[in-house]
Structure 1
Amino acid sequence: MGSASHSQTVRIAISGYYGFRNSGDEAVLRSILLALEEQGAAQGVRVQPVVLSADPAWTSSMYGVEAAHRMRPADILRTLRGCDGLISGGGSLLQDATGTKTIPYYTGIMRLAQLLGKPTFAYAQGIGPVNRRWMDPLIRGVMRRSAYVSVRDAESADLLARIGVARERIEVVPDPVMGLPLPALPPANAWGSDSGTPIVGVSLRSWRPDGADLTRAAEALIALSKRRSVTLRFLPFHTPSDVVTSQEMIARLRGKLGEGSSAELAAPGDDPQQMLLEVSRCDVLFGMRLHALIYAANRMVPMLGLSYDPKIDHFLHRIGLTAIGDTEQLDPELFANEAVALLDNPDEWRKKHVPAIDLLKQQSQQPAQQIVTYLRQYRSR
């Protein structure tokens, strides 16, 4: 992080799904770190983050910050005691779709910080789904005791309000990744390839046990390839699982694509800004991963979303879009029609959706600004 001289220093612990090589969550972390640094510099505060990570050495090397192991109680306790506060987020931390341990873990970290007398901040969280009512008090308790609560969509705010968190205390903000910049020396061409063959970015994940959703996705991509020569560039957002899924999809497509079309696997590495760069090179993006769609919005790349979770629909609605399909249905011909329309008229798509995207980008720094202001005043007492 920056080394400029500041009038005071604050140490802030950051809890989230970090250190797992998930590009979306790592992009959230990168975005939070950059926003804290920028807002700290604006307010004369040097922010020293300490990230709770599944791989502290990797996180420290990737981001140049301190890190501690997220599953070692002694490390967590030592980190929280040595910090001025705790950020929880962003991402979909408080949900039980992935099991019964997620909500107790993240609310437990927040509650421990609160018991130690540290202010806690919910940073652009995506709340829900929460299907087990016994988890409501866990969420309600830590949110009511937090110094600042922000969520990334109105639906998350509504869920918190339903379980007893005062609605006026909840700020609805964009996902932090809306403010993520490209790495240094971005490509000269803003969108697409120089070869003349359009690039369609594809971000898919394994979801249905029977694989029927991926079968339909393959049929849709084949239909598109027969209408227009395209390069299908698969973008693995969560390694290694998305790499495996992408390789399986490429194998399914082999010998079935239209003349002049091809499929390939991108290898951007673990740096989220390099994946953002890959997305910026696409003419259109077909995304199932939430952060693939957010990356596309960040870079003004026309997109088609495939919904597997309400969070996909919530994000698309914020920029005036609806999903092209979901894990139960996807019409190959409708998909091909929509994709060709986006390839033919990308500027029309941008003209329609850029105002909403620009607003989200402008608002993406709000949580960092609020948190730095609070900590600066907290330390001055």
Structure 2
Amino acid sequence: MHKILISGYYGFNNVGDEAILKGLIEGIKRVEGPIDIVVLSQHPEFTSKKHEVRSIKRTNLLHIFKEMKNMDLLVSGGGSLFQDVTSKRSIAYYIGIIWFAKRLFKKKVMIYSQGIGPVNKKYNRWLLGKILNSIDFINVRDEKSKLELESLGVTKEILVTTDTVFGISKPPLEMGKAVLEKKSKIKGKPYIGISVRHWKTGNNIAEEMAKLCTDIVQDMDCVPVLIPFHFYKDLKLMESIHKNLDKDIKDKVVIIDEYLYVEDYLSLIGNMDIMVAMRLHGLIFSVLMGVYPVGISYDPKIQSFLHMMDREDAMEVENLNATLLYKELKDAFINKEENTIKLKEYQNKFIELADTHNHKVYDLLSQ
């Protein structure tokens, strides 16, 4: 039986990254069959329980070296691991894991469905290019990531596919429907999902999103549903949005204030009529579940994903304006039927692409 070690941002209660891991594991098992998978995680017990794999602490070098000695392949990804914007240290960690696997243990390494950049520091750019030219295979989730790697001097073949989340089997809608019935006092109206996050240049997010919720309730007669993706961090912002609402609006806006896991989030979003999302995986979840997404961009990866669906740029969080965002949302709602038909084409395309990088894992293990 083959053995792979998976390195990524796992065990941090971020549903997007947990979905990445779920899609990765499901996709590889679907192609490879029985396989020994070990995941580096911040909370190994949580990861083992949720994904039914072995897991070890991501900072325990002794255990990591023990697993590397016996592995057949290191899979680095998916997600946005190689960037130095949200953290100055994480890029060094992920490069270090690859260096140990390749140079110390002489093992095969694959970059799997990653979004690359931004990488701003000159030293990080030089080091990343040098390390990635030494590995066995590189797979990124969008064309912009490929261009970024080429600008770093990477000369190896680069396979462009899509996010690993598209490897997840869609869950039934009943789970999400049950959550909404428990949380919402209003029945029989369309739901508009909203997922936003704190950002250093978006100080007015709570105020603008409160205005948007008010317009959704008063002018569209719909129910806004505030959905935290990185639960404990995002929930505080959702509560701030709710506090900014007038008293007669508050009871008509739903906050998902209980911790859910990947299948529950997917099912919940599948019950939305439109999804407004700032986090990338809010957009990806909505496409997977056939719900039209409206984006807010805080990072180039948001625009890159929308471009893959031939969409125009999303509103930048620095210029967040509830009035303009409402107009885009309302137009999407009016044209919902037409948009959903177009969305289905891209959904099928992304699901097919996800199988491509899983077959590449199989090829590497078979060599």
Pairwise TM-score range, normalised by the shorter structure: over 0.9
Residues 304, 323 of structure 1: 8 Å contact kept:
no
Q: Is the 8 A contact 1:104 1:138 kept in 2?
A: no
Check the 8 A contact 1:151/1:170 in 2, yes or no.
yes
- Kindly report which structure 2 residues correspond to 1:1-381, keeping only aligned pairs within 5 A, or say none: 9-41=1-33, 46-115=34-103, 116-166=105-155, 169-183=157-171, 185-187=172-174, 195-208=187-200, 211-255=203-247, 257=249, 262-267=252-257, 269-377=259-367
Q: Distance in 2 between matches of 1:305 and 1:209?
A: 17
TM-score between the two structures when normalised by the length of structure 1: 0.89
State the TM-score, normalizing by the size of structure 2: 0.92
Task: Give me the whole-angstrom Cα distance separating, in 2, the residues matched to 1:32 and 1:365.
Answer: 10
Equivalent residues of 1:140, 1:164 under 8 A apart: yes
How far apart are 1:374 and its partner, in Å?
Answer: 1.5
* Matched letter for residue 271 of structure 1: Y
Q: 2:231·2:259 contact (CA, 8 Å) conserved in 1?
A: no
Deviation at 1:263, TM superposition (A): 1.1
Taking the aligned partners of 2:175 and 2:83, their CA distance within structure 1 comes to 40
- Counterpart residue number, 1:3: none
Unpaired segments of 5 or more residues in structure 1? 1-8
What are the superposed Cα offsets for residues 284-314 of structure 1, whole Å, 9 maximum, x if unpaired?
Answer: 1110010000000111101210111111111
Matched position secondary structure for 1:262: coil
**Kept after mapping to 1: 8 A contact 2:302/2:314:** no
| Preserved contact between residue 202 and residue 318 of structure 2 (Cα < 8 Å) | no
AA aligned opposite 1:12: I
Distance in 1 separating the partners of 2:68 and 2:263: 29
Decide whether the 8 Å contact of 1:12 with 1:86 is kept in 2.
yes
Deviation at 1:365, TM superposition (A): 1.6
Give SS of 2:78's match: strand
Give the Cα separation in 2 of the matches to 1:13 and 1:60.
Answer: 13
Q: Is the 8 A contact 1:68 1:79 kept in 2?
A: no
In structure 2, list runs of 5 or more residues that go unmatched.
Answer: none
More helix, by proportion: 2
Separation in structure 2 between the aligned mates of residue 84 and residue 339 of structure 1, nearest angstrom: 48
Query: Structure 1, residues 44-98: CA drift from partner, whole Å, max 9, x if none?
Result: xx22110000001111111110001101111211121121110000000000002
Q: Name the count of aligned residue pairs.
A: 360
RMSD value, Cα = 2.1
Q: Percent identity?
A: 29
